[in-house]
Amino acid sequence: MPRTPRIEPDGEVVARLAVTALALPEAYEEDAWTGVRWRIRAKTFAHVMVAQAGYESSFRDITGIADPTTVLTFRAGGDELLALVHAGMPFYKPPWSPTIVGMVLDGDTDWAEVAELVTESYRFCAPQRLVQQLDD
């Protein structure tokens, strides 16, 4: 059975995310199995993709939205994780990791909030030395 051709996220969305992600100490960008991800060492702290049939199907299973949708996944913990998981759309909780949260990126996206969430995700993944560098 042939795979569904993947749809890549809009270049403008990737560029907006890259501004925040690449400003973080030692962060780098790479193509992922679908979409683009930002990493610190070997840990992904942000990943943007288009959820569609065959790619990030948990989004469709959880939200019921079948149309291709641009989503960002990132890491969170503690109270922030609980708040985001229970906030409802644009957030959702993929089942494949206890620390991953997904967020729909669309015309209503608050990009200042996205920058904060990406930065906090980096803090969650980065070694303490780099987090300290960020705080200085």
* Structural domains of the chain in order of their starting residue, each with its CATH number: 11-125 (3.90.1150.30)
DSSP 52: B
Q: Are 69 and 50 in contact (CB under 8 A)?
A: yes
CA gap 18, 27 in Å, rounded: 10
DSSP 59: H
Dump pLDDT digits (tens) for 67-117. Answer: 788 999 999 999 999 999 999 999 999 888 999 999 999 999 999 999 999
CA gap 62, 10 in Å, rounded: 23
Reported pTM: 0.90
pLDDT at site 33:
85
